[in-house]
């Protein structure tokens, strides 16, 4: 089992030395250490991974020790262990391409988590969930009473002990209450290179503007539509010869890849949210 520690704080000397010495003195073996200092904001970020095989403390002991370091260095920290896999719920609507991709990657052993539930406001994706043996639940969304669907969804997330929600082309806007409750744990894929073409029909917007690149963006969902901290992005070239259908087809390839990379980064604890942006540890 490995421990994964992510910290951020005001930059000062001695943080890396102190935490590295803590691991060394208690019998740990550092497997990975990545850090970043933002000179403009004076902020420090670090991801530290070490083996717990011969470590002197158990999980509770590590947390108690980190509390001491947090007071000394002014750290904000998150600790996790890779012996426990996150439980993932995927929300989708009528387009199943991102769902299929995530389920296939899980089947191939490429994800550091497990999709335990698929939720949709339509029946279209049931075949995909059934094929991969994942429970599928339809929560119809009434435009006059959206909270009814969200209440059912929240119950399902609790029932299946879900850790993270992935919006794989789920074409409904979540309420501020939902995203606040799951802040930092809802990953959305948007079919444009944000901040360009936020909102609906981005490929139609791209065609109308005659852009030469289209993109896809995976970000954490917030109460502000398509403005959450960005985790991953990518682009592909297009030309004036491409119709909207061509943009959609090319965009689907990007959406699958970008969403999968973002989910992988999150599950591997390689993302730190810093206000409206993220720090990504490679």
DSSP string, 32-97: EEEEEEETTTTEEEEEEEEE-TT-SS-HHHHHHHHHHHHHHHT-EEEEEETTSPEEEEEEE-S--H
Coil, strand or helix: which one is 17?
helix
* DSSP 8-state class, residue 180: H
**Proportion of the chain in helix, strand, coil states, percent, rounded to 5:** 35, 30, 35
The span from the CA of 282 to the CA of 262, in Å, is: 12
Q: Is 226 a catalytic residue?
A: yes
**Are the C-beta atoms of 28 and 51 separated by less than 8 Å?**
yes
Kindly state the tokens that stand for 16. Answer: 């890396």
- 253: CB partners within 8 A, 6+ apart: 236
Q: Look at phi and psi of residue 209 and say left if phi exceeds 0, alpha if psi is from -120 to 50, else beta.
A: alpha
Pick the catalytic residue from 86, 101, 163, 226. Answer: 226
DSSP single-letter state for residue 249: H
Catalytic residue list: 226
């Amino acid at each position: 089992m490995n421990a994964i520690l992510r910290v951020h704080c005001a930059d000062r000397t001695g943080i890396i030395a102190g935490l590295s010495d803590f691991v060394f003195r208690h019998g740990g073996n550092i497997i990975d250490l990545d850090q970043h200092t933002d000179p403009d904001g004076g902020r420090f970020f670090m991801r530290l991974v070490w083996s717990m095989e011969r470590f002197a403390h158990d999980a509770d002991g590590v947390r108690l020790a980190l509390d001491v370091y947090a007071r000394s260095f002014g750290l904000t920290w998150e600790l996790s262990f890779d012996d426990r896999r996150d439980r993932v719920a995927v929300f989708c609507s009528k387009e199943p391409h991102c769902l299929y991709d995530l389920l296939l990657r899980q089947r191939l052993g490429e994800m550091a988590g497990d999709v335990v539930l698929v939720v949709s406001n339509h029946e279209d994706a049931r075949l995909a969930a059934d094929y991969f043996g994942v429970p599928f639940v339809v929560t119809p969304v009434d435009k006059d009473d959206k909270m009814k669907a969200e209440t059912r969804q929240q119950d399902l997330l609790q029932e299946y002990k879900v850790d993270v929600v992935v919006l794989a082309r789920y074409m409904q806007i979540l309420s501020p209450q939902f995203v606040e409750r799951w802040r930092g744990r809802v990953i959305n894929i948007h079919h444009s290179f944000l901040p360009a073409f936020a909102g609906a029909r981005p490929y139609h917007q791209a065609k109308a503007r005659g852009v030469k690149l289209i993109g896809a963006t995976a970000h954490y969902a917030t109460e502000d539509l398509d403005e959450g901290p960005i985790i991953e992005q990518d682009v592909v070239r297009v030309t004036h010869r491409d119709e909207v259908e061509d943009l959609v087809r090319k965009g689907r390839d990007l959406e699958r890849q970008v969403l999968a990379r973002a989910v992988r980064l999150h599950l591997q604890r390689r993302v730190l949210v810093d206000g409206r942006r993220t720090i990504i540890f490679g």
